[in-house]
Amino acid sequence: MKKLLTIAILFIAVILTACGGEETSGSDGQPSAPDKFLQIGSGPMGSGWYPITTTMTEIYSSEFNGLNATQLEGGSTANLKSLQVGDIQMGLNYTPDFIAALEGGTGFDEPIEDIAAIAAIYPVFQTIATTADNDDIESIEDIVDKHIFLGPKGGGGPVAFWKMMEEYGIDEQTIEEAGGKVSYGNYSDGASMLKDGNVDVFLGGGAPFIPALQEIELTSPIKVIPIDEEKLESIEEKGIGITAGELPAGTYDGIDEEVPTYVMETMITVRADLEEEYVYNLTKIFWENLSSFEEQVPERAENFTLDTALNGIETETLHPGAKKYYEEEGVLE
């Protein structure tokens, strides 16, 4: 009788072990997620981020067993705040905003502790532009008394802009006192306002071009305002996720030479409390499906590479699941 009882217990244990295995892998070998839903914070519809997160939702819904991945319109700082409250589990944001969120810096009332990095995926060139016929604006100092469009409020562009302006001793009060003005909105509206003369200066981020500026330059040629080299060196040394770069020649008509500007990395961030194996699979599946991004977002995906996956990201801010993947791939030792 005791022998039969022992066999029965062992049999039950085998069954339970098999069932437990189904929590991490489906019957077809696909990994399973700890939840049925994955919400990914994107940018506004029409932004460069939206097709990236669309592709991500398709890949994750297909590659995970029983997972429904969706996207939510947002912006860099907005996505980080949504991660904090749990409205999303993954999101796109800029490296300087990630650093600011961890420290409770510009754009954040207090530090956000429950976020972790997965990857930097491509550089975003910040473009400060005006119309080519605007002879009043040739340098950053010339924009102080002008009407400046800064893109979506809650996006990462305005935060980095003010960080860059600090190097010049310029803040919003400086602009207001000089008779200038600051406006926010989507890139398409801002470009149209620039074309119609309703704003004097347009700020946007591209990789490297901004579609909204490409559209208006057909009838209203633009010029890009350069950032002084010493200002770029200074901000890069601060280690806040903003680096020096050059907008490539030919990005817009009439831009025949490289233009010095500041660069941020678009990165993927997750909630820090997500399970290690889950985030490991999220990271692995992203990098193993680059062909899907190359098909859907070729201009940006050409920069998706493991060689730059940690640009602007400190190792200690990585989620353990992402860190495990990079160690396996030799990105981290």
* 74 plus 91 within the same structural domain: yes
Is there a domain that residue 180 lies in? yes
How would residue 8 be classed by pLDDT, with cut points 50, 70 and 90?
A: very low
* 226 plus 295 within the same structural domain: no
Is there a domain that residue 216 lies in? yes
Which of 167, 258, 169, 253 has its CA nearest to residue 218? 253
Strands (E) in 80-208, as ranges, are 90-94, 115-131, 147-149, 181-183, 201-206
How would residue 333 be classed by pLDDT, with cut points 50, 70 and 90?
A: confident
The secondary element (H helix, E strand) that includes residue 38 is strand 37-41
Residue 221 in 3-state DSSP? Answer: coil
Residue type, 140: I
Q: Which letter, b or e, does each residue of 3-32 get, where b requires 16 or more Cβ atoms within 10 Å of its Cβ? A: eeeeeeeeeeeeeeeeeeeeeeeeeeebbb
State how many domains the chain has: 2
CA 268 to chain centre: 6
Is there a domain that residue 142 lies in? yes
pLDDT score at 25:
56
Most confident of 106-110, 177-181, 211-215: 177-181
State yes or no: pLDDT of 26 exceeds 70: no
The secondary element (H helix, E strand) that includes residue 79 is helix 76-85
| DSSP structure class, residue 140 | G
Of 264, 289, 307, the last residue of a domain is 264
Is there a domain that residue 7 lies in? no
Of 264, 289, 304, the last residue of a domain is 264
State yes or no: pLDDT of 61 exceeds 90: yes
* 243 plus 148 within the same structural domain: yes
* 182 plus 306 within the same structural domain: no
pLDDT score at 254:
87
CATH number at residue 312: 3.40.190.10
Is there a domain that residue 258 lies in? yes
Q: What is the mean pLDDT of residues 101-110?
A: 90
- DSSP code string of 257-268: S-EEEEEEEEEE
- Domain extent, residue 67, equals 31-122+266-329
pLDDT tens sequence across 123-180: 999 999 999 999 999 999 999 999 999 988 877 788 899 999 999 999 999 999 999 9
Q: What is the mean pLDDT of residues 272-292?
A: 98
* 64 plus 113 within the same structural domain: yes
User: What share of residues in the chain are helix, strand, coil (percent, to 5)?
Assistant: 40, 20, 35
Distance (Å, whole) CA 228 – CA 239: 18
Is there a domain that residue 8 lies in? no
pLDDT score at 163:
92
Output the pTM of the full model. 0.78
* 197 plus 292 within the same structural domain: no
pLDDT score at 260:
97
* 247 plus 134 within the same structural domain: yes
* 145 plus 234 within the same structural domain: yes
State yes or no: pLDDT of 313 exceeds 80: yes
Find the Cα–Cα–Cα–Cα dihedral 212, 215, 217, 219, rounded to 10°: -140
* 179 plus 287 within the same structural domain: no
Is there a domain that residue 16 lies in? no
The secondary element (H helix, E strand) that includes residue 229 is helix 229-237
Mean residue pLDDT of the chain comes to: 90
pLDDT score at 10:
41
State yes or no: pLDDT of 90 exceeds 90: yes
Report the share of the chain in percent with pLDDT over 70. 92
pLDDT score at 5:
43
How would residue 246 be classed by pLDDT, with cut points 50, 70 and 90?
A: very high
320 versus 17: which is more confidently predicted?
320
Of 264, 279, 301, the last residue of a domain is 264
* 88 plus 157 within the same structural domain: no
pLDDT score at 301:
94
* 254 plus 139 within the same structural domain: yes
Is there a domain that residue 76 lies in? yes
State yes or no: pLDDT of 15 exceeds 80: no
* 131 plus 211 within the same structural domain: yes
Which residue bears the tokens 């500007």? 261
